Amino acid sequence: MPGIAVLGVQWGDEGKGKIAHLICQDADMAVRFNGGTNAGHTVVFPNSQIQAGRSREEKGESEFRFHLIPAGALHEGCIGVLGNGMVIEPFALAAELRMLSEQLGHAPQIWISQNAHMILPYHPIVERLEGATSELDTTAKGIGPAYRDKTARRGIRTGDLQNPEHLAALITQNLRREQAIFPDSDALRALDPVKLTKEILTATDGIQSRLTDTALLINRALDQGQPVVFEGAQGCLLDIDFGTYPYVTSSSATIGGVGVGAGVSPRRLERVIGVAKAYATRVGAGPFLTEDKSPLGERLREQGHEYGTTTGRPRRCGWLDLVALRYATRLNGLNELALTKLDVLTGLKEIPVAMAYQRGRERVEDFPTTLDELAGCEPVYERLPGWSERLNRCRSFDDLPRNAQRYVRFIEECLGTRVTVVSVGPSFSDTIWV
Ligand code: IMP
């Protein structure tokens, strides 16, 4: 059985959590390979699926909001793996496991890479201190500073939890370094390395036995024919290399991230599923050519509840950008697309879709990879006819109004990729398998 990647192909928040959770119904393992608590998953599913033995008649749904655990690990038979490419905030991980265990009625089964780096309390403080002079508008979770320590070869890994003395020495060294850079910071001065080490060891007491060589674990699972799903965080246009740099996150959100962040050869991936919203959103600063600042964009935000899961910030809203999606399709080698939130477009007379950009007299078909080139571009829209019917009861492609079907087929044709899943609401059941 092949590996399956589920990747965001816009600016994150495409609804990967729901899609990954759905795809993992038949998987033995769900792997996160990049990012950390900057990601936010929202998954809604019926209570009947939550606890084995609970009455099937029981109605109602539960909503899960979380940041670190792979969405697939909410299924009882699916093991969650936090890969080496992640940056893990140990207190957040412990709290998230507690919260999910209570809500699910059982503890999610997880393994954690001993080579994953940790976000420690000084990272978000440093990020905020630097933020005063930066326009990047990050989630302020310490992601950039933690990846920076990793690349500078002074990072602290989860494996260091197994050697308390070494851990204390590393924390002391790194904390002292930040305190020296920001001598006026009361927040940094208030941190004591010895106390911090003890707190981290106490908070992670229950998860230290779950540290392992996850690359070995994942490859063995694949060797045995077990279905393994790799869940991307953020999206293609936030990728550190291929996104709209520097308005990006600090990790690889594209297919290459699976290789470096999980230790799995790309040859082992047979299905690469891109997840795209039927329109577009971006949270945080940076280029967004199809952004609509008119009341129509506002309407998308309200209909689509476009507020960040992690920070609560309102998301910038706009229209589907096929130039950017072609770029993401090419970079990731997508062979499937999951289209989410199609229901949010109900009620629009026509739906603009960017087919190309115009830069002066030049028509640009390929997504420009520098900010300067992007800055001179204007989207060239084609307007597709809308529909007025609500979609939340549609359960098959044929149930969709004709113009909604056309919209989906149009995207498929433009991208040369099959749309295999259409999501028409937040719930597990609001899904059309095409
Ligand atoms: P960072 O990842 O916190 O460093 O933030 C860098 C940029 O990525 C900011 O614009 C964030 O808003 C954005 N970002 C990071 N994670 C997510 C996500 O999961 N969804 C959407 N945007 C994100």
Q: Is-catalytic flag, 13? A: yes
Q: Is the CB of 143 under 6 A from ligand 1?
A: yes
**C-alpha to C-alpha distance for 350 and 359, rounded to whole angstroms:** 25
Distance 334 CA to ligand 1 centre (A): 22
Report the pLDDT averaged over residues 248-261. Answer: 98
Return the pLDDT at 307.
94
The pLDDT of 255-277, averaged and rounded, is 97
Name the residue of 9, 41, 238 whose CB sits within 8 Å of the most ligand 1 atoms, as the mutation to test its pocket.
238
Q: Is 244 in the pocket of ligand 1 (CB under 6 A)?
A: no
Q: Residue 2: which pLDDT band, with cuts at 50, 70 and 90?
A: confident
Q: How far is the CA of 243 from the centre of ligand 1 (A)?
A: 11
Q: Please give the pLDDT value at position 62.
A: 87
CA of 139 to the centre of ligand 1 (A): 6
- Say if residue 390's pLDDT is above 90: yes
d(CA 7, CA 30): 13
Average pLDDT over every residue of 407-427: 97
Is residue 234 lining ligand 1, measured as CB closer than 6 Å? yes
**DSSP at 224:** T
Q: CA distances (Å), 76 to each of 22, 59, 106, 189, 335, in order?
A: 13, 19, 8, 43, 28
Q: Which residues contact 155 (CB under 8 A, 6 or more apart)?
A: 117, 118, 146, 149
Q: Which atom of ligand 1 is found nearest the CA of 144?
A: 4
With bands split at pLDDT 50, 70 and 90, how would you rate the model's confidence at 320? very high
pTM comes to 0.95
| Averaged pLDDT for residues 30-57 | 76
310: pLDDT strictly greater than 90 = no
**Can 430 be counted among the known catalytic residues?**
no
Share of the chain above pLDDT 90, in %: 90
Does any ligand 1 atom lie closer than 6 A to the CB of residue 13? yes
Q: Which long-range contacts (CB under 8 A, 24 or more apart) does 410-414 make?
A: 410/353, 410/384, 411/320, 411/322, 411/325, 411/337, 411/339, 411/353, 412/337, 414/322, 414/325, 414/326, 414/355
Residues 166-200 pLDDT 10s: 999 999 999 999 999 999 999 999 999 999 999 99
- Whether residue 53 is predicted with pLDDT greater than 50 in this model: the reply is no
Q: What is the pLDDT of residue 47?
A: 78
Q: Is the CB of 145 under 6 A from ligand 1?
A: no
Q: Which atom of ligand 1 is nearest to the CA of 284?
A: 10
360 C-alpha vs ligand 1 centroid, how far in Å? 31
pLDDT at 51: 53
136 confidence band (pLDDT: 50, 70, 90): confident
Decide whether any atom of ligand 1 lies within 6 Å of the 40 Cβ: yes
Backbone angles phi, psi at 29, to 5 degrees: -145, 140
Write down the pLDDT at residue 91.
98
Nearest CA to ligand 1 atom 8: 249
Confidence (pLDDT) at 25: 94
| Residue 288 in this model has a pLDDT that exceeds 90 | yes
Q: Tell whether ligand 1 has an atom less than 6 A from the beta carbon of residue 332.
A: no
Residue 220: per-residue pLDDT: 98
Q: Which of 13, 160, 239, 321 is catalytic?
A: 13
Is 281 a pocket residue for ligand 1 (Cβ < 6 Å)?
A: no
Mean pLDDT of all residues in 390-407: 97
Given the residues 21, 41, 117, 123, select the one marked as catalytic. Answer: 41
Protein residue with its CA nearest to atom 11 in ligand 1: 138
401 CA distance to ligand 1 centroid (A)? Answer: 35
The finding on whether 138 has its CB within 6 A of some atom of ligand 1 is: yes
pLDDT of residue 50: 63
Supply the angle between the helices 322-332 and 402-415 in degrees, to the nearest 10: 50
- CA–CA distance, 68 with 283 (Å, rounded to integer): 19
Q: Is 87 in the pocket of ligand 1 (CB under 6 A)?
A: no
pLDDT of residue 1: 53
**Atom in ligand 1 nearest the alpha carbon of residue 238:** 8
For residue 48, pLDDT beyond 80: no
> pLDDT grade, residue 67 (50/70/90)?
very high
Task: For tokens 């992690």, name the residue.
Answer: 310
**Exposure of 134 in the CB half-sphere (CA atoms within 13 A):** 17
- pLDDT of 408 above 50: yes
Centre of ligand 1 to C-alpha 164, Å, is 32
**Cα separation of 18 and 25, whole Å?**
11
